[in-house]
Chain A
Amino acid sequence: MSGAYWQPEIETMAPAALRELQAARLRETIARAMQSPFYGECYGRLGLAPESIRTVDDVRRLPFTTKEDLRGHYPYGFLTVPPQETVRLHCSSGTTGNPTVIFHDRHDLDSWANLVARSMYCAGVRDSDVFQNICGYGLFTGGLGFQYGAEKLGALTIPAGAGNSRRQIKLMQDFGTSAIHAIPSYLPRLFDEFQALGLHPAEDTKLRIILTGAEPHSEETRQRLQEMFRCKVFNSFGLSEMNGPGVAFECDCRNGLHLWEDCFILEIVDPETLEPMPDGERGELVLTTLDRRAMPILRYRTRDLTSILPGPCPCGRTHRRIDRITGRSDDMFIVKGCNVFPIQVEKILMKIPEIGSDWLIVLDTVGDNDELLLKVEISPAHFTGDMEALERVRRRIIHEVRDEVLVSPHVQLLEPGALPKSEGKAQRVQDLRKKS
């Protein structure tokens, strides 16, 4: 394989043909979904059938599916086949109540692996690469999802798992790793370990491509990671309800993520009115699976906020692009009457070289008021011993955050490494407020 595309006929399909393919697959998906207890009852009651769909836009005639629906029909309510006919499940950690569990049959796993292979190929990974998957295996879909995709692509794949940076670096050096996948909050820690060993990834390894995702992060974070590692960093998007990784991925242009429309119907809706949003405007991403058999999900409200980037991409792929996720509606918090997304704070911090890569928002009640405290680690590489300079950095953060989110934060500067580190996704918000 050495062309520009993994599946040229699909990735560059004319938009009209792509819409027809979607409509046909949607009809098949509805027919199959109606074999599940949940959709059988729901669509039966509403009088919906495959024939309800003439064009792909008719998807709007279907009701939305929510996370609560998945939880409420745990564990088998969405299955179109007996559980024995499925071969794998993944589930999300539910802190309260039932987790959301997704079942796959053999076809589903093949289709998923193909989408991940297509995504990795799109970012420039080839079968000659050595790919090290630095993330948790097990129930987290980033582990097995990338593993099977990379194997399908034909790359030598190292299932390194999360953590243990020193061993990661040894694997990278011993086996000539040229591409890695890791969550964005882990990458600075990996880089710190390189530095502690007196090494630089650009000089002492063959690393040329970094795939990241799973945590919403800003363009500023990507720039910082690219400067740190001196290689290309690609953003990806996926969620376990839609398999996991491989839903949308950046191409070499690194300007928006191609969402694979042969396998998903893409909608952006206003989270309040649920009406469709025009291209370019931010709303909630709604997805429908088009190639999943054991457990199809239609019009799933992802709670992820993004927009469709208008216009074609120079890479030639016709599948539309979504903007990087600006947050999950679940991530948003309200302080002093203002809606705040952690990513708004992140993009300010990541522009400031004196600030390290770890930070935490603490919400607390002081007296009768909410306070927003921002704890940020300083960067050892940019520390000069100049107190006044650090004081200026602190004031800059206060002003820029206030301008962005309309709440004036308290800023606390911390020693490098002062914040607790987690193996999985980074916790960025701690809410200690008294609930009234």
Chain B
Amino acid sequence: MAHQVSVFMENKPGRLERITEILSGGGVNIRAMTLATSSGGWGVLNLLVDRPQQAKDALTAGGFAAALREIVVVQMPDAPGSLGRIVGLLAKSGLNIENAYGTVLREGQGAILVIDVDRTAEAGTLLRTSGVTTLEDDAVYRL
């Protein structure tokens, strides 16, 4: 199962910079990221990286609250309406999406979608049996 790194972050200048600094200092490469903010002046930064465990350790040592979270990563089919179809499949099975974000791969390789969903194993199986391509963790980290 693939993992993203989630980091608690106050919404104030310099914090995102500090996180990326810690990660590059730890030799970690960021593939994609998204920030979910609350109205209370804080948020959770979700990061797709090549070495999640190292990233979490480096951030913890740097004083941040960081956690590994299981995710499902799917190869976005090159067809109209496919995002809606994926979301619909998960919703119909009662699987709640916490968060989702996409990133474009190298030229000509299409895009991937990172889904933070409860019961990731079940979600992965459901998507695969419905003909959606999911990526194994090795493939995700090598992106």
Contact = CB atoms under 8 A, between A and B. Distances in A.
Contacts of B41: 412-413
B64 to A, nearest CB: 7
A48 interface: no
A391 B66 CA distance: 17
A414 interface: yes
B65 A379 contact: yes
Interface of A: 196, 378-380, 383-388, 390-391, 394, 411-418
Contacts of A394: 40
Bin the interface of chain B by size.
20 to 34
A196 B61 CA distance: 7
Interface stretch (B4-12, B20-28, B78-86, B129-137): B4-12
Contacts, number: 58
B43 to A, nearest CB: 8
Contacts of A390: 8, 38, 42, 44
B36 A387 contact: yes
B38 A380 contact: no
A354 B97 CA distance: 23
Interface in B24-67: 36, 38, 40-44, 46, 60-61, 63-67
Given A380-B66, A417-B63, 9 more contacts: A196-B61, A380-B65, A385-B67, A385-B68, A387-B36, A390-B44, A413-B42, A414-B10, A416-B64
Contacts of B69: 384-385
B12 to A, nearest CB: 9
A383 B7 CA distance: 9
Given A380-B60, A385-B6, A412 B67 contact: no
18 contacts: A378-B65, A380-B60, A380-B64, A380-B66, A383-B8, A385-B7, A385-B44, A386-B98, A387-B98, A390-B8, A391-B38, A412-B40, A412-B41, A413-B40, A413-B41, A415-B64, A416-B65, A418-B10
A378 B42 CA distance: 11
Interface string B73-95: 00000000000000000000000
A359 to B, nearest CB: 15
A100 B21 CA distance: 50
